[in-house]
Amino acid sequence: MSVVTQELIDQYKEDGVVCLRQVVDEDWLGRLQDAAEKIIADPAGSGGELGPSQGDEMVSVSFMWRNPGVIRDYVLNSTVGEIVGEVIGAEEVMIFHDHLFVKPAMSPKVMPWHLDATVWPVKGEMAPNIWLALSPVNTENGRIEFLAGYHKYCVDNDVEYGFSPDQSDGLCPDFEAERDNSKFPYRYVSWDLEPGDAVIFHPATPHFSKGNDSSDMPRIGLALRMFGNDTVWHTKPPYKMQIPGIDYQKIHEGDSVEHELLPVIWKRSEPNSSRTLS
Protein backbone atom coordinates (compact mmCIF):
# COMPACT_ATOMS: atom_id res chain seq x y z
CA MET A 1 0.00 0.00 0.00
CA SER A 2 1.32 3.43 -0.95
CA VAL A 3 0.08 4.84 2.37
CA VAL A 4 2.32 2.40 4.30
CA THR A 5 5.93 3.53 4.14
CA GLN A 6 9.00 1.95 5.68
CA GLU A 7 9.11 4.95 8.00
CA LEU A 8 5.64 4.07 9.35
CA ILE A 9 6.59 0.41 9.75
CA ASP A 10 9.71 1.40 11.70
CA GLN A 11 7.76 3.90 13.80
CA TYR A 12 5.19 1.25 14.71
CA LYS A 13 7.94 -1.09 15.90
CA GLU A 14 9.55 1.68 17.94
CA ASP A 15 6.50 3.49 19.35
CA GLY A 16 3.76 0.87 19.21
CA VAL A 17 1.44 3.38 17.53
CA VAL A 18 1.28 5.28 14.22
CA CYS A 19 -1.09 7.75 12.61
CA LEU A 20 -2.15 7.31 8.98
CA ARG A 21 -3.88 10.08 7.08
CA GLN A 22 -6.89 9.57 4.79
CA VAL A 23 -6.77 5.79 4.61
CA VAL A 24 -10.55 5.60 4.11
CA ASP A 25 -11.63 6.92 0.70
CA GLU A 26 -14.63 9.24 0.35
CA ASP A 27 -17.05 6.55 -0.81
CA TRP A 28 -16.30 4.16 2.05
CA LEU A 29 -16.18 7.04 4.53
CA GLY A 30 -19.65 8.27 3.61
CA ARG A 31 -21.10 4.78 3.82
CA LEU A 32 -19.45 4.10 7.18
CA GLN A 33 -20.66 7.42 8.58
CA ASP A 34 -24.23 6.65 7.48
CA ALA A 35 -24.01 3.19 9.05
CA ALA A 36 -22.66 4.68 12.28
CA GLU A 37 -25.55 7.16 12.50
CA LYS A 38 -28.07 4.32 12.20
CA ILE A 39 -26.31 2.40 14.97
CA ILE A 40 -26.19 5.50 17.17
CA ALA A 41 -29.94 5.96 16.72
CA ASP A 42 -30.67 2.37 17.82
CA PRO A 43 -27.68 0.57 19.38
CA ALA A 44 -29.75 -2.32 20.71
CA GLY A 45 -31.35 -2.90 17.32
CA SER A 46 -28.12 -2.77 15.36
CA GLY A 47 -27.56 -6.53 15.38
CA GLY A 48 -24.24 -6.10 17.15
CA GLU A 49 -23.15 -6.82 20.70
CA LEU A 50 -23.53 -3.97 23.20
CA GLY A 51 -20.19 -3.17 24.80
CA PRO A 52 -19.48 -2.61 28.50
CA SER A 53 -19.37 1.18 28.08
CA GLN A 54 -22.76 1.36 26.31
CA GLY A 55 -25.06 3.85 28.04
CA ASP A 56 -26.02 7.51 28.30
CA GLU A 57 -22.38 8.64 28.34
CA MET A 58 -21.22 6.56 25.39
CA VAL A 59 -22.33 4.35 22.51
CA SER A 60 -20.44 1.06 22.41
CA VAL A 61 -21.41 -1.66 19.90
CA SER A 62 -19.28 -4.46 18.45
CA PHE A 63 -19.38 -7.52 16.16
CA MET A 64 -21.44 -5.68 13.56
CA TRP A 65 -19.24 -7.10 10.79
CA ARG A 66 -20.89 -10.50 11.21
CA ASN A 67 -24.18 -9.12 9.86
CA PRO A 68 -24.83 -8.08 6.25
CA GLY A 69 -24.22 -4.37 5.79
CA VAL A 70 -21.68 -1.64 5.24
CA ILE A 71 -19.31 -2.54 8.07
CA ARG A 72 -19.08 -6.15 6.91
CA ASP A 73 -18.52 -4.98 3.34
CA TYR A 74 -15.75 -2.65 4.47
CA VAL A 75 -13.98 -5.28 6.57
CA LEU A 76 -14.06 -7.91 3.83
CA ASN A 77 -13.68 -5.82 0.67
CA SER A 78 -11.60 -2.72 1.45
CA THR A 79 -7.84 -2.35 1.81
CA VAL A 80 -7.96 -2.06 5.62
CA GLY A 81 -6.63 -5.59 6.20
CA GLU A 82 -3.74 -4.99 3.82
CA ILE A 83 -2.88 -1.68 5.49
CA VAL A 84 -2.79 -3.27 8.94
CA GLY A 85 -0.89 -6.31 7.69
CA GLU A 86 1.80 -4.19 6.08
CA VAL A 87 2.24 -1.98 9.15
CA ILE A 88 2.61 -4.90 11.59
CA GLY A 89 4.60 -7.12 9.21
CA ALA A 90 2.12 -9.99 9.15
CA GLU A 91 1.87 -12.74 6.56
CA GLU A 92 -1.89 -12.80 6.92
CA VAL A 93 -4.58 -10.94 8.85
CA MET A 94 -7.82 -12.26 10.35
CA ILE A 95 -10.71 -10.09 11.47
CA PHE A 96 -11.29 -10.44 15.22
CA HIS A 97 -14.00 -7.88 15.85
CA ASP A 98 -15.19 -4.34 15.23
CA HIS A 99 -16.23 -1.79 17.83
CA LEU A 100 -18.05 1.50 17.28
CA PHE A 101 -17.19 4.05 19.97
CA VAL A 102 -19.23 7.25 20.17
CA LYS A 103 -18.49 9.79 22.89
CA PRO A 104 -21.36 12.31 22.66
CA ALA A 105 -20.90 16.04 23.16
CA MET A 106 -20.39 16.88 26.84
CA SER A 107 -19.93 13.23 27.77
CA PRO A 108 -17.91 12.92 30.99
CA LYS A 109 -16.87 9.37 30.10
CA VAL A 110 -13.16 8.82 30.77
CA MET A 111 -11.44 5.71 29.44
CA PRO A 112 -8.60 5.12 31.93
CA TRP A 113 -5.13 3.97 30.94
CA HIS A 114 -5.27 0.33 29.83
CA LEU A 115 -3.88 -2.30 27.46
CA ASP A 116 -6.05 -4.18 24.98
CA ALA A 117 -3.80 -7.24 25.23
CA THR A 118 -4.99 -7.98 28.74
CA VAL A 119 -8.46 -9.06 27.67
CA TRP A 120 -7.80 -10.48 24.20
CA PRO A 121 -7.96 -14.32 24.36
CA VAL A 122 -4.62 -14.67 22.58
CA LYS A 123 -0.90 -14.21 23.03
CA GLY A 124 1.14 -12.55 20.34
CA GLU A 125 2.18 -9.11 19.17
CA MET A 126 0.06 -9.20 16.02
CA ALA A 127 -3.26 -8.32 17.61
CA PRO A 128 -3.46 -4.62 16.70
CA ASN A 129 -6.26 -2.10 16.75
CA ILE A 130 -6.93 0.26 13.86
CA TRP A 131 -9.11 3.13 15.06
CA LEU A 132 -10.80 4.92 12.17
CA ALA A 133 -12.05 8.46 12.71
CA LEU A 134 -15.60 8.97 11.39
CA SER A 135 -15.80 12.50 12.85
CA PRO A 136 -13.25 15.19 13.65
CA VAL A 137 -11.24 14.19 16.72
CA ASN A 138 -9.27 16.65 18.83
CA THR A 139 -8.21 17.51 22.37
CA GLU A 140 -11.60 19.04 23.14
CA ASN A 141 -13.78 16.04 22.27
CA GLY A 142 -11.55 13.33 23.73
CA ARG A 143 -8.87 12.14 21.33
CA ILE A 144 -6.93 9.03 22.40
CA GLU A 145 -3.50 9.42 24.00
CA PHE A 146 -0.80 6.76 23.84
CA LEU A 147 2.41 6.01 25.72
CA ALA A 148 4.94 5.55 22.93
CA GLY A 149 7.44 2.76 23.36
CA TYR A 150 5.91 1.29 26.51
CA HIS A 151 4.74 -1.78 24.61
CA LYS A 152 8.37 -2.97 24.54
CA TYR A 153 8.51 -2.98 28.33
CA CYS A 154 5.26 -4.97 28.49
CA VAL A 155 6.40 -7.52 25.89
CA ASP A 156 9.91 -7.93 27.32
CA ASN A 157 8.58 -8.42 30.85
CA ASP A 158 5.39 -10.33 29.94
CA VAL A 159 3.30 -7.64 31.64
CA GLU A 160 -0.46 -7.28 31.12
CA TYR A 161 -2.06 -4.49 33.10
CA GLY A 162 -5.74 -5.10 33.78
CA PHE A 163 -8.94 -3.11 33.77
CA SER A 164 -9.32 -3.94 37.47
CA PRO A 165 -6.86 -4.74 40.27
CA ASP A 166 -7.62 -8.48 40.14
CA GLN A 167 -6.75 -8.87 36.45
CA SER A 168 -3.28 -10.14 35.54
CA ASP A 169 -0.69 -7.60 36.78
CA GLY A 170 -3.26 -5.20 38.19
CA LEU A 171 -4.01 -1.66 37.09
CA CYS A 172 -1.67 0.42 34.97
CA PRO A 173 0.84 2.53 36.87
CA ASP A 174 -0.26 6.12 37.52
CA PHE A 175 0.83 7.49 34.15
CA GLU A 176 -0.99 10.75 34.84
CA ALA A 177 1.44 11.46 37.68
CA GLU A 178 4.35 11.19 35.24
CA ARG A 179 3.25 13.86 32.76
CA ASP A 180 5.47 16.54 34.30
CA ASN A 181 8.33 14.19 35.10
CA SER A 182 11.19 15.17 32.80
CA LYS A 183 12.97 11.90 33.60
CA PHE A 184 10.05 9.68 32.58
CA PRO A 185 11.49 7.62 29.68
CA TYR A 186 8.30 7.43 27.59
CA ARG A 187 6.46 9.97 25.42
CA TYR A 188 2.77 10.86 25.51
CA VAL A 189 1.58 11.02 21.90
CA SER A 190 -1.74 11.88 20.30
CA TRP A 191 -3.10 13.28 17.06
CA ASP A 192 -5.98 15.43 15.91
CA LEU A 193 -7.82 13.39 13.29
CA GLU A 194 -10.07 14.24 10.39
CA PRO A 195 -12.70 11.80 9.12
CA GLY A 196 -10.84 9.10 7.17
CA ASP A 197 -7.67 9.31 9.30
CA ALA A 198 -6.66 6.40 11.51
CA VAL A 199 -4.30 5.27 14.24
CA ILE A 200 -2.92 1.74 14.46
CA PHE A 201 -1.62 0.59 17.82
CA HIS A 202 0.03 -2.45 19.35
CA PRO A 203 -2.06 -4.55 21.78
CA ALA A 204 0.39 -3.75 24.61
CA THR A 205 0.44 0.03 24.04
CA PRO A 206 -1.19 1.86 26.98
CA HIS A 207 -3.85 4.34 25.92
CA PHE A 208 -6.32 6.73 27.51
CA SER A 209 -9.02 9.25 26.60
CA LYS A 210 -10.66 11.96 28.64
CA GLY A 211 -14.29 13.05 28.47
CA ASN A 212 -15.79 15.10 25.65
CA ASP A 213 -15.75 18.80 26.59
CA SER A 214 -17.28 19.95 23.32
CA SER A 215 -20.82 21.31 23.41
CA ASP A 216 -21.66 20.24 19.87
CA MET A 217 -19.10 17.76 18.50
CA PRO A 218 -19.38 14.01 19.20
CA ARG A 219 -16.29 11.85 18.86
CA ILE A 220 -17.08 8.92 16.55
CA GLY A 221 -14.57 6.16 15.88
CA LEU A 222 -14.75 2.66 14.43
CA ALA A 223 -12.13 0.31 15.85
CA LEU A 224 -11.24 -2.86 13.98
CA ARG A 225 -9.28 -5.48 15.91
CA MET A 226 -7.32 -8.06 13.95
CA PHE A 227 -5.11 -11.11 14.52
CA GLY A 228 -1.92 -11.78 12.60
CA ASN A 229 0.00 -15.00 12.12
CA ASP A 230 1.95 -14.93 15.41
CA THR A 231 -1.16 -15.13 17.62
CA VAL A 232 -1.94 -18.26 19.63
CA TRP A 233 -4.88 -19.03 21.89
CA HIS A 234 -4.66 -17.89 25.50
CA THR A 235 -8.14 -18.26 26.94
CA LYS A 236 -7.65 -19.70 30.44
CA PRO A 237 -7.61 -16.56 32.65
CA PRO A 238 -11.20 -15.73 33.65
CA TYR A 239 -10.91 -12.10 32.54
CA LYS A 240 -10.16 -13.02 28.91
CA MET A 241 -12.82 -11.96 26.42
CA GLN A 242 -15.34 -14.54 25.28
CA ILE A 243 -15.68 -14.36 21.49
CA PRO A 244 -19.36 -14.95 20.66
CA GLY A 245 -19.95 -18.23 18.87
CA ILE A 246 -16.62 -19.84 19.74
CA ASP A 247 -16.70 -22.88 22.04
CA TYR A 248 -13.65 -22.46 24.23
CA GLN A 249 -13.92 -26.09 25.33
CA LYS A 250 -12.73 -26.99 21.85
CA ILE A 251 -9.83 -24.52 21.88
CA HIS A 252 -6.36 -25.81 22.75
CA GLU A 253 -4.19 -23.37 24.66
CA GLY A 254 -1.13 -22.35 22.66
CA ASP A 255 -2.48 -23.43 19.26
CA SER A 256 -2.39 -20.99 16.36
CA VAL A 257 -5.51 -18.89 16.18
CA GLU A 258 -7.76 -20.36 13.50
CA HIS A 259 -11.55 -20.42 13.38
CA GLU A 260 -14.32 -19.96 10.82
CA LEU A 261 -15.52 -16.94 12.84
CA LEU A 262 -12.07 -15.34 12.43
CA PRO A 263 -11.75 -15.31 8.63
CA VAL A 264 -8.57 -14.27 6.85
CA ILE A 265 -9.21 -10.90 5.20
CA TRP A 266 -5.72 -10.38 3.73
CA LYS A 267 -2.75 -12.58 2.89
CA ARG A 268 0.68 -11.48 1.71
CA SER A 269 1.28 -12.70 -1.83
CA GLU A 270 5.02 -13.07 -1.29
CA PRO A 271 6.03 -14.47 2.14
CA ASN A 272 8.45 -12.09 3.83
CA SER A 273 9.38 -13.30 7.29
CA SER A 274 11.91 -10.50 7.72
CA ARG A 275 9.02 -8.07 8.06
CA THR A 276 7.52 -9.75 11.13
CA LEU A 277 7.89 -8.06 14.51
CA SER A 278 10.58 -9.31 16.85
Q: Residue 55 — very low, low, confident or very high, per pLDDT cuts 50/70/90?
A: confident
Cβ atoms 199, 113 nearer than 8 A: no
Q: Is residue 205 part of a domain?
A: yes
What rounded mean pLDDT belongs to the chain? 94
What is the C-alpha separation between 46 and 96, in angstroms, rounded?
A: 18
216 inside domain: yes
pLDDT at site 274: 36
User: Average pLDDT for residues 20-40, to the nearest whole number?
Assistant: 97
Q: What is the mean pLDDT of residues 48-59?
A: 90
Q: Report if residue 277 sits inside a domain.
A: no
Range of the structural domain that residue 242 is part of: 6-253
Contact 226, 95 (CB under 8 A): yes
Q: Is residue 201 part of a domain?
A: yes
Domain CATH for 238: 2.60.120.620
Mean predicted confidence (pLDDT) in 83-92: 97
Place 269 in a pLDDT band, splitting at 50, 70 and 90.
Answer: confident
pLDDT tens for residues 159-208? 999 889 999 999 999 999 999 999 999 999 999 999 999 999 999 999 99
Q: What Rg, from alpha-carbon coordinates, does the chain have?
A: 18
Q: How many residues does the chain have?
A: 278
- Residue 107 in domain: yes
Instruction: Specify if 102 maps to a domain.
Output: yes
Structural domains in the chain (count): 1
pTM: 0.94
The pLDDT of 31-40, averaged and rounded, is 97
